[in-house]
Structure formats: structure tokens, C-alpha cells
Structure 1
Amino acid sequence: MFKVIIAVLGLGFFTTLCSAQQVRPAKSAEIYRDLKTLKRMPKVLYLAAHPDDENTGLLSWLINEQNVETGYLSLTRGDGGQNLLGTEQGAALGLIRTHELLEARKLDGAQQFFTRAIDFGFSKNTDDTFKQWDADSITADVVWVIRKFRPDVIICRFPPTAAAGHGQHAASAVVAEKAFKLAADKNAFPGQLKYVNVWQPKRLLWNTFRFGGVNTISENQLKANVGQFDAQLGMGYGELAGLSRSLHKSQGAGTQSVAGVRTEYFSHVLGEPAKATLFDKIPLNWTEKAVNDVDDLIDVLLLSFDYNHPDKSLHGLLMLRKRISELQDAGLKKDKLAAIDKIILSCTGFMGEVVTNQPEAIAGNSYNFRLNVISRSASPVILEQVNWINQTDNLNRRISGDSLVTIERKIQIPADAKITEPYWLENAAKNAATFSVANDTLIGLAENEAALNVSLLLKIGTDKFTVKLPLSF
């Protein structure tokens, strides 16, 4: 029996280095936003139970107005929801809703995380929910995401009470409180510490709400004004949120794109209370982290940024990259180097893809692939090396002038290549409420990273960058 490797990967708009997607440059407005985010220190993790539980208006504001790195952790993939589009239920519906969330994140800019929890359907309260969910394993998953993402502020959508309206909603708040306390405890889930360090967020908040007849907001709660108009987006954050939420098509979750400023409310749960803003007593920029010169370097880049020629920023970006690489804080250095590498690659106008006309591949067989690369920068990008999985070419080839370079190679799929499938579905579920994931380091990921990649070694200026491109149809 043949072992088939599904090699179909959409060629959408992505800019992430070393990812499971082809590389595309970001738009100039996105590069500019990423530069502003590079200057900011805080991170926010929003947490709830299901796809479409997130407050997209708040996420849009955090990313585009506050310029802070933000993620949404949905405990489940929505496997137990309705499906207005077709007959898929269970794991198949969860896969659909996973990709609906990913499409929403492309609009608002947040990162997306999940746990092993399965949406088993409606539950009345937390007791009912934890008869199904394994509280310890889900708490471990949330602790893992916290330790890996390292948020300063965690915001829950729901309280751990009947006001949440659904047992899984309330349970998400219970798990958040446990994980908040345990993430900094070296004795909690010590096996994780082979890969990540302990981490203590500054505070845990509940994003209160008025849903139907349930009103949990109060004027003495912490407030934030959101929904402002963003000229680079051409809309307000509430309007962007409406577009983002409307991508949950299987749930019929479309909402109006509402213009205008509105108020979000927050109730303190754990950690150090905030009196004025979400980020009270959290370093906001490099200067407040006692790295005094980086803010100045970024300010110069922002002031001189040319939307029509972002490659003019390359010299300053490479200087900034050198400074960041000298940081002693390993976690901060890793995060910010990944961010600036993405910006640099986009500023060169680099595009890379490895494609074949064959939609499926069989382990052990060979197929013809095309490597297409191009750079639109006035400063050349040097393609020094290509690792084709089973052979390496040393090229030192100049890529510039908006001229497409195509290199064809026959690539043999490794004989031991695994069948392509979502990592959380590789094994039979542990039970009706928990997926079985053999490799714990995959937990949190929205989808698989590509197993089969062509690796490029690029030189930009005097710096070298490794870019991984997945084999794609």
C-alpha cells in the first residue's frame, strides 16, 4: 500500500520566516506597523473557550493602536459547534473552524493558539465541564503557551461563574487562574522546562461585557477606549473587528462593522492591579527596559520610512539587528530578532516558493520542483546556498532588479516521510473531550509546521538569514 504525502499548501499572503508557508513580503503599511511593534515591550494573551469567543475589536486595537504583540488562546477548536455550511461535525468541523480563526487572525494581526481540549458540546457549569475535560492536562497546555509566548497581561473573555453562560466558558476562566499561578512555578510541569523557562505574567484580567440581559460591566472597572479610526487601514478597529468576526462563517457569526470609539471594561482577577491602563508598571519600550539606544534607532527608521521604497530602510535595520543580537536577555533577543528578520526580508521585497505540478507525493518517490525567488530591493540579496533536502547547492547568486530567478530540481521524498495530517488528529483521541498529542511541543500550534522544506541561506548586507520554504503544489 502506497504511503501518500499530501503536499498541497495554499500560496496565500504570508511573511513569516522559517514557517510552514511560502514567503511573501508584507505591505508597506504592515511593515510600518511591525516597526512600531518592534519598539513596544508588552505582550497580551486573550483567552476563551471556543473560536468566535474572542473580542476581535479589542484584539484589533491592541495590535494596531497599542502596537503590542497579541495572541488568542482558544481552548478548543469548536468541534461541538453548529455548521451552517455543510454536514461536517466533530473533528472535521474543528478543522474548518481552525482555519476560520486563522483567516480572522490575518485581518486583525493576532497570533492563534489552541490546547488539546475538545469542544464536546454544551455544558451547564464548570462541574459538568470538568467531568469531561481533564483539568490538569488542559492547565498544563495553558501553562505551556504562557511560558512559550511570555505574555505580560492575560485577559479572559469570561468569568468562572454562571454569568459566563456556558460551562466551557466558565471553565476557561478557571483554567486561566490556575495557569497564571503555576506558569512561574518550576515544580509545575517540570518537563516543559527542557524547552521553555518559567514565566510570571503581571496580571490577569476579565474583559467584562453586556450580552443580552447579562451586564457585568461597572464604571469603577478599568477602562480602555477602542475603535479609533486608523488611516493606514482605512477603517476603525470596530469596523475591522466586524470583518474579522464575519469570517466565522460556519457559525453564522457575522456582525456589523461598527464605526466609532467605544469603551472596553476590565475587572481585576490576579496579579498586580492596574489603575490607569492595561500596562501599568510594565516596561513599554526599550528605554524602560534599560536598553537606551534602541528606541532612538527605531524612531529614525519610523521617521524616514518610505512607503514606496521600504528597501531604503535596510541599512538602518541591519544596524538595529546587530544591536539586538547583543542583548543579554535571551528570550527578548529571540523574539525581537525574529521580528526584525521578518521586517528586513519584507523590505527587500523577497518572495520565495518551492512548487510542483503534482498535488500528492508518495514517500520514496522523486518529483520535479521549481524554486522561484525574487528580490525588489535596490540593494542585492545574495542566494548563497540551497539545501534541497537530499542535496546542497552552493550558488552565491545575486538576486535583484525585480527579476525572477527559477531553479529546477528533482527532489526525492524521504522514504520515512509521515502522512500529512493535522498533528492533533494523528492519533485517536484520548477520549471524547481530549485530543492525544504525542509530541507535547506541538501543543499550542494552530496547525502543523511543514515537515519537508527547502532551506535557503541568504546574505543581505553582511548578515545571513536562513529561510525555509515548504514543498508545495
Structure 2
Amino acid sequence: MLAKEAFYAAADPNKFKEQLQFVKPWQTKRLFWNKWRPTEEEARGLISINVGEYNPLLAKSYSEIAAESRSMHKSQGFGATGRRGTIPEYFEFYLGDKPESDLFENIDLSWNRVDGSSQIQKNINEILKAFNPQVPSKSVPQLVSLFNALNSIKDNYWVELKKKELLKIIQSCAGLWIEAIADDYSASPGNVVNINTTLVNRSDINFTLEEISVENNLSDSTLNLNIENNNPISISSKIAIPNDYPISQPYWLSEINNGSLFEVNDQKLIGLPENHASISVTAKIKNGNSELEFNIPLLYRWNDRVKGELYRSFEIRPAVVASIDKKVSIFSGNKEKEIKVKLKSNTENVSGIYRLNGNSKWKVTPAEVNFSFTNKYEEKNIIFKINPPNMVDEVYLSSEILINNKKSNNDLVEIS
């Protein structure tokens, strides 16, 4: 069982050494097996949890939430009907420190795990006790003080994680709206992008906008603007996308697959459900003497006549992409076939040469095609004639796009 091997391997400093520059070996406390439908006799020696418990704040039981989660597997037809009432789940102990009655027995989940955090939990308890859901902004001064206290604790995984969560709580309690909107949903390396950053403070908390900056030093504006209650502030800026800026694509598709496995060179990306934003904007905001940095993904916003306000991620795209119409073709004898290739521009005023490359046995006509686009998102179809050899053979046809003496072979597939 792989879980048993992982139980020991995660604590072994000689395993997976390439990961240890980012993480440390970790010995888990115990390992259980979620036993499915045990007999009455088997269940007597197992720890049980009621997963049908009702949460009055959510107005749902956890089993109902689980059914909704399962029903999100749309492509797999995993729709599930929610169950209500007591639903026991049973856990069989396998490895580690055996508990008497609770899965988390003798496992410290408090701030006691973090050195130098003795006051943190007390501060949190005070904030919770004084919290007024009708006026959540009253908690902001205490939340900012808590953030400063966390800042004094260095190099701790949990502290860095909780600081990010705390910034979101401060933003929510203050009704602080921050957005960075591009003038289009994509751009290509070498393009100029217009960005409009808007902030709205929907509370009486005193905030000052000190700086707006775009990652990788693409833009930086030093400011000193009071963010008054419900009075929007908008900052316009232009950024030039460097010619070597990385193209937006799922990180697991950046490298050629290693057989049936995806190749990911950056260990810190593995496990992320989606890519980080192609470009992000940082707003430095002061509250008194405290400085808060809010990192905002650059988005594109538009209005749909039916759905209303919609957003999508901002993307960096190749200047021109090529899509071969038929991914697989079967030739009968040496009869000629036509293959259609669609070229699409992702920038204005771009020209170059397109080639459909095969091998010397297969004749591709024409050998190359000059293309020119005036408008962004313009499309053109090119027809190639393919003549197979008079023998059993196969060939892989590949795209080659040549723009300003730079080669690429990008296709673009939009799935949503």
C-alpha cells in the first residue's frame, strides 16, 4: 500500500532530496484506513465519525456538501444525491501513535506549534469575542495589529500561510475592493497593455494608497492617496510586455511529456490546481504606520447581455498560432490529400512565413506560405497538398512559424 510507504518516506531525509530545498522531512502522527461498510463486530474496534452532522451556519449537512462536491465531476458523470441524517464513517488504525477515541487525539493544532507565537491565539480570541457582523470594519484595527505580530515571526510556513489569509480577512471586513483590469484579455510579447487599477474603501477605516506596482518591474507608481469611504480611486498605467516574457499555458504542458507522465521542472508548481496569474499587480496600502501589500491578478472584464459582469484571466499569447485541421489522416495508395491549417493572429500588424514540415518521402505543396495580419484575432486558412510515397509509411507533420527570424510552432486550444 503506497500510503504506508509514504508514511515513512515523508520523514526520511534521504528520500526525494530534490524537494528538500523547499520543504523539510515530516513525520505524520498516524495513518488510518477509511474502512467501507464494516460488519457490526468489525466496527466495535474502529474510531467513528458522523459525517452527516448538520452545520447551522451553512444550513447544510456535510454529507450534502460532499454530494455537491462529487456532482462537480461533470465530465465523469459523477452526479450524487445528498444524504441527510447520521452517517458514520469508520477508520481502522494502521501506523503511528494509536489513539483511544479521536483521530486527532494528542495532535496539537494550535499556535503552540509555532515558536514566538504565545500571544497570537490570545489576540485571535479577543478579535472573535469583539467581532460585530453588522459592522465588521470595527475589527480591522485589531486585525492589522495581528498582522504586524505575525510579521515579527520569520521563516515559518504556517505564519506565511496565515498572513495571506489574514490579508483577505482584513480586505473583507473593510469592504476593500481592489481590481486590476486590462484593456483586452490577451497580449503578445512586445505589446503594450493598458491597465486600470481601481480601489474602493467601503468603510470608515483610514487607508492610504502608497504604491501600485506590476510584477517583474514592468511598472511602478509611487502615490500618497487617501482612500475615502466609498469614493473609488482609479490608477491608469501602461506596461510593455518584454519579448522574452513567458507564454500563458498550463504548467504541466510546458515541457514534452515523459511517456504517460507530465514533466514539471519547477517543484513549487506541482500540485497547483491552476497557474499563477500571468501578470499581477501589487497595491501597497497603509493603515496608520502599518503597511499592507495586496497582490491582485490582472484580469479582463466585460459585460454579457445575459450573464452581466464577467471576468477572465489575462493571457500572454504567441503573436501567431497555427492549428492543423485534421490531427490524423489515412492515405490510400499514393493519392493526394489536402490538409487545412488555420493561422490566427494575437497581435496587430504581424507578418511572417508558415511551413508545414514533413520528411523527404512526403511531398508538401506549397513548401512555405507568406502571411500577413492587420488585425488582432484575425484568422486565415491555408490549404496544403500532401503527396504520400508509393510505399507503406507514416509521417509527422509539424508547424513552423517564422516571424522576424524567430521560429515557433504554437497551437492554441481554448477549452472554456
* Shorter-chain TM band: 0.5 to 0.7
Q: Secondary structure at the match of 1:270?
A: strand
Partner of 1:156: none
Which residue matches 1:396?
224
Q: TM-score, normalised by structure 2?
A: 0.66
Opposite residue 204 of structure 2, the aligned amino acid is A
Q: TM-score, normalised by structure 1?
A: 0.58
| Aligned partner of 1:426 among 241, 254, 269 | 254
Q: Does the 8 A contact of 1:375 with 1:403 survive in 2?
A: yes
1:332 corresponds to 2:135:
no
Moved more, 422-431 or 330-339: 330-339
Distance 1:288 1:414, change over 3 A: closer
Deviations 1:131-171 (A, max 9, x none): xxxxxxxxxxxxxxxxxxxxxxxxxxxxx4xxxxxxxxxxx
Of 88, 91, 95 in structure 2, the residue corresponding to residue 270 of structure 1 is 95
* Gap runs ≥5 in structure 2: 301-416
Residue number in structure 2 paired with 1:312: 138
Q: What does residue range 355-374 of structure 1 map to in structure 2 within 5 Å? A: 355-374=181-200
Q: Give 3-state SS (helix, strand or coil) of 2:84's partner.
A: coil
Q: Residue 194 of structure 1: SS of its match in structure 2?
A: coil
Distance in 2 (alpha carbons) for counterparts of 1:289 and 1:408: 42
Q: Which has the larger radius of gyration?
A: 2
Provide the residue aligned with 1:229 in structure 2. Answer: 54
Verify: 1:452 aligned to 2:279, yes or no.
yes
3-state secondary structure, aligned to 1:337: helix
SS at match of 2:20: helix
2:206–2:227: 8 Å Cα contact kept in structure 1? yes
Distance 1:469 1:441 in 2: 20
Q: Counterpart in 2 of 1:197?
A: 24
Deviation for aligned residue 1:349 = 1.6
Equivalent-residue separation in structure 2 for 1:385 and 1:418 (angstroms): 26
Instruction: Please give the alpha-carbon distance, in whole angstroms, between the structure 2 residues aligned to 1:460 and 1:374.
Output: 15
Would you tell me which structure has more helix in proportion to its own residues? 1
Kindly indicate whether the alpha-carbon contact (under 8 Å) linking 1:208 and 1:217 is maintained by their aligned counterparts in 2.
Answer: no
In the other structure, the counterpart of 1:207 is 34
Distance 2:25 2:112 in 1: 24
1:121 aligned partner: none
The answer on whether the counterparts of 1:364 and 1:412 sit within 8 Å (CA) in structure 2 is: yes
User: Residue type matched to 2:232 in 1?
Assistant: L
Deviations 1:166-194 (A, max 9, x none): xxxxxxxx1x3222212222221222221
Residue 401 of structure 1, CA deviation: 0.9
Are the aligned partners of 1:387 and 1:456 in contact in 2 as well (CA < 8 Å)? yes
Give, as a single letter, the amino acid of the residue that structure 2 aligns with 1:363: P
Q: 1:383 aligns with which of 197, 209, 233?
A: 209
Query: Which of residues 167, 173, 195 in structure 2 aligns to 1:341?
Result: 167
Q: Secondary structure of 1:438's partner?
A: coil
Aligned length: 297
State the match for 2:412 in structure 1: none
Amino acid at match of 1:324: L
Distance 2:126 2:245 in 1: 48
How far is 1:215 from its partner?
Answer: 11
- Tell me which of the two structures has the higher relative contact order, counting C-alpha pairs closer than 8 angstroms and 6 or more residues apart: 1
| 1:469–1:292 CA distance, 2 compared to 1 (3 A) | closer
Report 1:410-425 matches (<5 A).
410-425=238-253
